[in-house]
Chain A
Amino acid sequence: MLKTAAVQAYEGAFNLLERPMLALQKLFGQSRVAWVFLLPNLVIFGLFTFLPIILNFVFATTGGDRIILADRPFVGTEHFASLLDCESYFDPNSCHRDLFWRAVGNTGWFVLMQVGFMILFSLITALILNRDIVLRGFFRAVFFYPVLLSPVVVALIWKWILQRNGVLNAGLEGAGFGTINWLLEADWAFFWVVFVSIWCNMGFYVLILLAGLQSIPSDVYEAAEMDGTPRWRQLWRITLPLLMPTMLVVMVLSVIRAVQAFDEIYVLTGGGPGSATTLLIQYIYDVGFSTRPRLYGLAAAASLLMAGVLFVLTIIQLAATRKQSGDN
């Protein structure tokens, strides 16, 4: 009953558009009808994504704390220059914007650690879930569940666990160990920021990798089994190489998201202790939103620098894997 009603509604809705779409098809001709399909998405995309990005360039080259563009004096590349003003790029203290460069350094480490370990754990989990085990659906759902939580909730939960008088310390104390002030020591705080970020993102990548694994035809393994290839060699020789295309997607997406990590970390540590877990987006957010006066121009300039670096990184990743796995 319900199903037929849904199907009827579906057909009715799309049939309604049949005539206008047919007219457009006749108007544009078969080959250009693609633009008709693209149009709604492109209009919205242009208005609400592309236009703001263009405006961001305007912000980046103007100063002051107003947001109405007419009230902002043109300053040219001043913001970029002040961000890049360093005696040595390896010592944040020698930079005019020391906090920016600390954030850059932290973000670099964070991306390395977070992406590296997340892909490792996701791969292990995906390989295990690819086995024929009981409760497979349940396990898949469990690993995916944290992905559904909002970043604020994620941070709230872990803050509750990690604070000085939190569950983790209570557990350690109960087991006879000493307690550690997890979020108060720079190295531990950084560790937990990476951990929590992996915790709430991993499920997504596990599923993508699982998809890649299941698309590997089983006769490849059977042939290897015949040849008596030991199973760990199958992993290196068959599974991983055939997984490379999927791995590329995982790497590109996870690097982009790691560079842009913000909400859950901001709520968890506030960027502290000191600036040990201040990442780039937090720097941009602090400068442009939470302090006074709001330096939108500086924030916009920093975000454009960041987007530029990301772009280059992505191109490098694509090029590197393309070379390795042939043209895919």
Chain B
Amino acid sequence: MFGWLIGRRGRHGFDLTDWMAFGFLGLGVFLMLGPVLWLVLSSFKTEAALQEYPPKFLPLAPIERMVEGFDQPLQMFTVTAGEHAGRELAQVRRIGLNAQMVDPANPSERLNVAISDREPLREFGIATENYTDVFSRFNFMLYFWNSTFITVVATILTVLFNSMAAFALAKYKFTGRNAVFVLIIATLMIPPTITLVPLFLVISEMGMVNSHWGVIWPAIATPTGVFLLRQYMLTIPDDLLDAARMDNASEWKVYWKIVLPLSAPALAVLVIFSVMWRWNEFLWPLIVLNRSEVFTLQLALNSFQGELQTSWSNLLAMTVLTLLPITIVFAFLQKYITQGIAQSGVK
């Protein structure tokens, strides 16, 4: 009864277990990607369409038409009941419970329709202004650059420092090794939210408020990174290292010529995690950065939320824009990530 779970390669044909497996995966794809697709589609809807119930799958915009004798385009409705049922009319204006409408083909005759007897006509229409607003309202490219700078620098330093530490913990025997390792792992227990205030005191003492370095430095010594890399480096045979030492290579050379290249898959995993963490980080930059020239995309994204009101359409558009770069990075590194975690042999 559990056989379908571990059906393995090299077997004949497509049987029931395969159908079940694909059924499960299909459902998974729907659950995992469906919500994201919904987000992307919604980001093209107008503020009014976002609030609509039942929600429409595709972004729709009301149809407006120029009618002879009117300066402004008029909104089109279909009449559902009453004496004009079935006709498509343009609304001139609404007075109380009645709408004054005209037939675009015969603009001189005014018709009276009860407002409950008409429904707006709509067509597929994309609210691109959600996106253009984002670009006109603030310096998107500057924030993009700031986010990119923080992400790239922090990731390079994270990979460098964590791999050095992991190398030391994995490949040397020295007193205090276990103590250091346990200390690093133990800090996993303290949630980052908790140390925000004390950390801010430290950062301000060091004069790094409103500086990108105030966001970068605290993010670098990740326990997860050290843990991940150490576990992977344990699987590299010591013979390789000793052979290099025989050739008079320095310990530094052993590290970057042998250990680092061999750890590439695990490094790729750390890269994607670091990129993801730094790119999505919000609470800490919110506290450290308060000048617009150092703002990151996540901060700009959240400035669409006021005390009393939120501009959803812009917020969603901005969300999609911030998702794009990380999706692209993931698409490129995807192969390594799955390999990397697969081989890092977390044991």
Contacts and interface: CB of A to CB of B under 8 A. Distances in A.
Interface in A143-170: 143-153, 156-158, 160-161, 165-167, 170
Given A50-B187, A157-B35, A299-B194, A170 B54 contact: yes
A114 to B, nearest CB: 16
Contacts of B250: 18, 21-22, 25
A147 B186 CA distance: 24
B85 interface: no
Given A59-B198, A145-B32, A21 B252 contact: yes
Contact of A199 (B5, B32, B276, B283): B32
A320 interface: no
Interface residues of B, number: 95
B48 to A, nearest CB: 13
A160 B9 contact: no
Contacts of B161: 40-41, 44
Contacts of B81: none
Task: Please classify how large the interface on chain A is, using the bins under 10, 10 to 19, 20 to 34, 35 or more.
Answer: 35 or more
A56 B195 contact: yes
A324 to B, nearest CB: 15
B289 interface: no
A317 to B, nearest CB: 12
B78 interface: no
Contacts of B345: 211, 215
B165 A165 contact: no
Interface stretch (B59-67, B90-98, B114-122, B332-340): B332-340
Interface string B198-239: 111110000000000000011011000010000000000000
Given A25-B252, A41-B164, A288-B197, A34 B323 contact: no
Contact of A142 (B32, B184, B326, B347): B32
Interface string B43-76: 0000000000111000000000000000000000
B55 A281 contact: no
A284 B298 CA distance: 23
Given A207-B341, A256-B188, A328-B347, A146 B32 contact: yes
B327 A142 contact: no
Given A41-B164, A207-B341, A30 B251 contact: yes
Nearest to A244: B347
B42 interface: yes
Interface in B236-295: 250-253, 255-256, 276, 279-280, 282-283
Nearest to B250: A22
Contact of A124 (B24, B33, B280, B326): B24
Contact of B202 (A48, A146, A231, A300): A48
A7 to B, nearest CB: 10
A165 B6 contact: no
Contact of A232 (B3, B31, B183, B344): B3
A67 to B, nearest CB: 6
Interface string A64-75: 000111000000
Contacts of B31: 199
Interface stretch (A95-103, A181-189, A268-276, A303-311): A303-311
Interface in A36-52: 37-38, 40-42, 44-45, 47-52
B8 interface: yes
B38 A157 contact: yes
A53 B187 contact: yes
Given A22-B250, A212-B346, A137 B36 contact: no
Contacts of A49: 187, 195, 218, 221
B22 interface: yes
Contacts of B338: 137, 140-141, 144, 207, 210
Contacts of B141: none
Contacts of B184: 45
B178 interface: no
A31 interface: yes
Chain A CB within 10 Å, residue with most, of B18, B174, B197, B337 = B197
B150 interface: no
Given A31-B174, A37-B165, A37-B255, A165 B54 contact: yes
Interface string B309-347: 000000110010011001100110011011001111111
B77 interface: no
A165 to B, nearest CB: 4
A211 B6 contact: no
B193 interface: yes
A145 B326 CA distance: 10
Given A142-B29, A296-B197, A311 B186 contact: yes
Given A158-B35, A165-B54, A211 B252 contact: no
Interface in A127-148: 127-133, 137, 139-148
Contacts of B22: 133
Contacts of A81: none
Given A231-B6, A311-B189, 17 more contacts: A31-B173, A37-B165, A38-B169, A45-B187, A47-B202, A48-B218, A48-B221, A56-B195, A59-B197, A127-B5, A129-B25, A148-B326, A149-B36, A157-B36, A245-B347, A249-B347, A281-B193
Give 8 nearest A-B pairs by CB, closest first.
A132-B9, A150-B280, A55-B198, A165-B53, A34-B172, A41-B165, A21-B252, A170-B54
